[in-house]
Amino acid sequence: MARSPLSNRQRFDPSVAFMSTFNLSLLLLAFRPVPGTLFSPSLPLNPAIPKAVASVPKIETAARDRLNPVKQTVETTRQNVDRQVRSTYHLPPREFEGRTIHRVELPSQRRVIALTFDDGPWPDTVPILDILRENEIRATFFMVGSHLQSFPEIARQVVKEGHVLGNHTWNHQYYPVNDYIASQEIDNTAASLNQQTGVYTRLFRPPGGNLTNGLANYAARGNYAVVMWSINPEDTYGGSAASLADRVISQAHPGGIVLLHDGGGNRAQTVAALPTIIAGLRDRGYEFVTVPEILAMELEEQQVPAKQPLTP
Ligand SMILES: [Zn+2]
């Protein structure tokens, strides 16, 4: 038997079509959404639930409000301890890592000044230590690695008496260097300072104040603070102790960093001038602090912006 192109089911029948539509309408009517049912967003399924959900952010806010001062205190304490520890361990505040410092700016104009001594350890370091001890002053000593090899005991005495150490290269290198030589000059000195005295320093002073021969740049990349000076009485150029003292005192300013030398030659003139320098500055109301201390003071007064984290 030949099949019809359309089966019975597929053939259009108006009565069937009407009944199907009618049945569908009934079905929809039976299950229509009514206000306040499942389909309504305002359905109060359990009155307690929306209330509890709404109160979660409030609890969080309240807890945060209570925790914020605690967190702040913890953070302040952490920063204070950090600064104290860093100062004790001959490190600048983190904010100064990788930066070059000539002087610190103190809006208060507080009369603080940092004495620094370069090119030791050296036999002349010993009488300088005596004078500093008698005057209860702590200073900062930028040491040369090769001199440290010759006078490690003097370096240990410097540390024992509470002074701060900085790195002044191995050979007092003035000339342009590549990273390999810079590493030998700076990293070897750092290792020797650590070996001989137990000190880990991140204070660097470039020999001759040269900021462009590759050494300062290498040190800055190694998170050293590159410490220059704002008062240079040129104590290695001869002249009388009195005139040397005058040159320091006349240039003194709040937040000043004084460049003096305890090593690398005959420093008798510096030794002779030091008591007059100290007395003259004290008469003018100056207190003596180390380099990490004076940097921390700037931080307290100026709110120096935190160092940006290194991007990978
Ligand atoms: Zn030097």
Q: Whole-angstrom Cα distance, residue 67 to residue 78?
A: 16
Burial class, 294, CB count within 10 angstroms (exposed 0-12 / middle 13-18 / buried 19+): buried
Omega prior to 93 cis, within 30 of 0: no
Neighbours of ion ligand 1 (CB under 5 A): 118-119, 207
115 alpha carbon to ligand 1 midpoint, in Å? 14
213 alpha carbon to ligand 1 midpoint, in Å? 15
Residue 88, pLDDT score: 57
Q: Residue 253's CB: how many other CB atoms inside 10 A?
A: 13
pLDDT tens, the chain, 312 aa long:
444 444 444 444 545 444 454 454 444 444 444 443 343 334 444 444 444 444 555 666 777 777 787 777 777 777 766 665 655 568 898 999 999 999 999 999 999 999 999 999 999 999 999 999 999 999 999 999 999 999 999 999 999 999 999 999 999 989 999 999 999 999 999 999 999 999 999 999 999 999 999 999 999 999 999 999 999 999 999 889 999 999 999 999 999 999 999 999 999 999 999 999 999 999 999 999 999 999 999 989 986 555 555 555
111 alpha carbon to ligand 1 midpoint, in Å? 26
> What residue spans of the chain are helical by DSSP H?
14-30, 48-88, 125-134, 145-150, 152-160, 179-197, 215-221, 241-251, 268-283, 291-302
Q: Residue 155's CB: how many other CB atoms inside 10 A?
A: 25
Residue 231, pLDDT score: 98
Burial 213-240 (b: 16+ CB within 10 A, else e): bbbbbbbbebbbbbbbbbbebebbeeee
Q: Whole-angstrom Cα distance, residue 209 to residue 122?
A: 20
């070897």: which residue's tokens?
A: 188
Q: Considering 90, 147, 172, 261, which one is annotated as catalytic?
A: 261
* Model pTM above 0.95: no
Residue 70, pLDDT score: 77
Q: Considering 118, 119, 124, 235, which one is annotated as catalytic?
A: 118
For each of the domains in the chain, give its residue range(s) and CATH number, in order of start. Answer: 94-302 (3.20.20.370)
Q: Residue 292's CB: how many other CB atoms inside 10 A?
A: 28
Examine the residue annotation and report whether 261 is marked as an active-site residue of this protein.
yes
**Rg of the Cα atoms in the chain:** 38
DSSP labels for 266-298? --HHHHHHHHHHHHHHHHTT-EE--HHHHHHHH
Residue 66, pLDDT score: 76
Residue 285, pLDDT score: 98
Provide the 3-class DSSP secondary structure of residue 119.
Answer: strand
Q: Whole-angstrom Cα distance, residue 254 to residue 14?
A: 105
120 alpha carbon to ligand 1 midpoint, in Å? 9
